Amino acid sequence: MKLREKYLKNVKRIVIKVGSSTLTHKSGLLNLNQIEKIVRQIADLHNEGKEVILVTSGAIAAGIGKLGLKSRPKTIPEKQAAAAIGQGILMHMYEKIFSEYGKVAAQILITKDDISHRTRFLNARNTFFALAEMGAIPIVNENDAIIVDEIKFGDNDTLSATVASFVEADLLILLSDIEGLYDSNPRTNTDANLIHEVEEITEEIEKCAGGAGSSLGTGGMATKVSAAKIATTAGVSMVIANGGQENVIRDIVNLKEVGTLFAQSRHPLTLRKHWITFNTDAKGKLVVDDGAFNAIFHNHKSLLPTGVVTVEGFFEQGQIVSIENSMGKEVGRGITNYSSGEIDQIKALNTDEIENKLGYKNYDEIIHCNNMVVF
């Protein structure tokens, strides 16, 4: 309870993710009673003056129910079609119920590409803040109707953690069909114990995560622990709880021992460094020598041309690249000041030799320490 009092007391901005298993019956049709209960709790929190963002699953499941399908579609086009049909159904239901409580709902569809592109990332962040000032409640989902990667690999656990990180939320709540993180799979082990609080995500904690959950959703405990990493390193505490439990959101905010709390990191990353670490894919790779590795890893120095051994991949200035040591281990990531072609020309050179080699010198550093995250 001490961690809950420390991190959940007086939270102001809350992101709540609701999974497909919570929003639908086993038939695949929407559970209207359950949706109404969740909306009522969110509206009540909003009445208290808290900012609430809802990240919702259920578009594909709603489409499955509308189409009368007996199981979840297997192919990408079928999933996209179900999502296109279900998204409108889902949003209409949220708008109808929120309006009954005097609330304005705003739909936001986000793709992975929106987050990895720095300008669009900042624009999305500004949109959320503008909606909060207007008193609206954002309802967020992946754009499953068109984005192949998000349907094939994505999940709303990761999306909600990403949203919570870039809006600088105080709390992320993941509602699913399980009470929280157990020390073993409770569906196969009746002696499994619920872990109430996690102060640090260790290898042991990660091993407790199991596989995928219900047939209607894509998320399992492994994705939730992964989401916890994203959220907590951004300074956001996270709770996993059973969405079917009565007044579960209210109980969490009131510091009751519900679900599993993942405490925010004691040393959270800055917003910029968090974006570099979690929200972008590395476009290339720089292998550095031992001297550069020691300077970067131990002394938090910038990466200079003299420390670069090899360049892999094709990338432009301003893109994210991976940094590897001589043993082939990724030790960090950063925003490069030069393209792959330019670095290939100036690698192993001193900074005063850059201009002679390229005919110009915009920066001394390949990657400045302020634009670098060391793992």
pLDDT digits (tens, 9 = 90+) for 335-371: 999 999 999 999 999 999 999 999 999 999 999 999 9
Partner residues linked to 288 by β-bridges: 308
pTM of the predicted model as reported, rounded to 2 decimal places = 0.85
Cβ neighbours, 10 Å, residue 247? 15
> What local confidence, expressed as pLDDT, does residue 152 receive?
44
* 340 belongs to an annotated ligand binding site: no
Per-residue pLDDT of the chain (375 residues; tens, 9 = 90+): 688 999 999 999 999 999 888 888 877 778 889 999 999 999 999 999 999 999 998 888 888 888 888 778 888 888 888 889 989 989 999 999 999 999 999 999 988 888 888 888 889 999 999 999 999 999 999 877 776 654 444 678 999 999 999 999 999 999 988 899 988 777 777 788 899 999 988 888 888 775 444 433 434 788 899 999 999 999 999 999 999 999 999 999 999 999 999 999 999 998 889 988 887 788 999 999 999 999 998 998 999 999 999 999 999 999 999 999 999 999 999 999 999 999 999 999 999 999 999 999 999 999 999 999 998
Largest CA distance in the chain: 71
Tell me if residue 370 falls in helix, strand or coil: helix
* 12 belongs to an annotated ligand binding site: no
Rounded Cα distance, 201 and 203, in Å:
7
* 57 belongs to an annotated ligand binding site: yes
DSSP secondary structure letters along 124-149: HHHHHHHHHHHT-EEEEEE-TTT-HH
Rounded Cα distance, 243 and 251, in Å:
11
* 156 belongs to an annotated ligand binding site: yes
* 228 belongs to an annotated ligand binding site: no
Rounded Cα distance, 347 and 307, in Å:
7
Q: Is the dihedral of CA 80, 85, 91, 93 positive or negative?
A: negative
> What local confidence, expressed as pLDDT, does residue 3 receive?
84
Query: End-to-end CA distance of the chain, in Å?
Result: 31
* 372 belongs to an annotated ligand binding site: no
* 344 belongs to an annotated ligand binding site: no
Which regions of 171-271 does DSSP assign to beta strands (E)? Answer: 171-176, 197-198, 237-242, 260-262
Options 3.30.2310.20, 3.90.79.10, 2.30.130.10, 3.40.50.300; CATH of 281-374: 2.30.130.10
* 221 belongs to an annotated ligand binding site: yes
Rounded Cα distance, 190 and 328, in Å:
42
Cβ neighbours, 10 Å, residue 153? 10
- Determine which helix (DSSP H) or strand (DSSP E) holds 372, and give its type and residue range: strand 372-374
Which ranges in 52-211 belong to alpha helices (H)?
59-67, 76-100, 112-116, 118-134, 148-152, 156-166, 203-207
Instruction: Give the CA count within 13 Å in the CB-facing half-sphere of 69.
Output: 21
DSSP secondary structure letters along 284-332: EEEEE-HHHHHHHHTT-PPBPGGGEEEEES---TT-EEEEE-TTS-EEE
* 176 belongs to an annotated ligand binding site: yes
* 219 belongs to an annotated ligand binding site: yes
Topology (CATH level 3) of domain 2-271: Carbamate kinase (3.40.1160)
> What local confidence, expressed as pLDDT, does residue 62 receive?
83
- Determine which helix (DSSP H) or strand (DSSP E) holds 18, and give its type and residue range: strand 13-18
| Nearest in space to 115 (alpha carbons), one of 169, 47, 162 | 162
* 220 belongs to an annotated ligand binding site: yes
Residues 6+ positions from 262 with CB-CB distance below 8 Å: 198, 201, 228, 231, 232, 237, 238, 239, 240
Rounded Cα distance, 141 and 153, in Å:
15
Intervals of CATH 3.40.1160.10 along the chain: 2-271
* 232 belongs to an annotated ligand binding site: no
Over the stretch 49-88, which tens digit does the pLDDT of each residue have? 999 999 998 888 888 888 888 778 888 888 888 889 989 9
* 260 belongs to an annotated ligand binding site: no
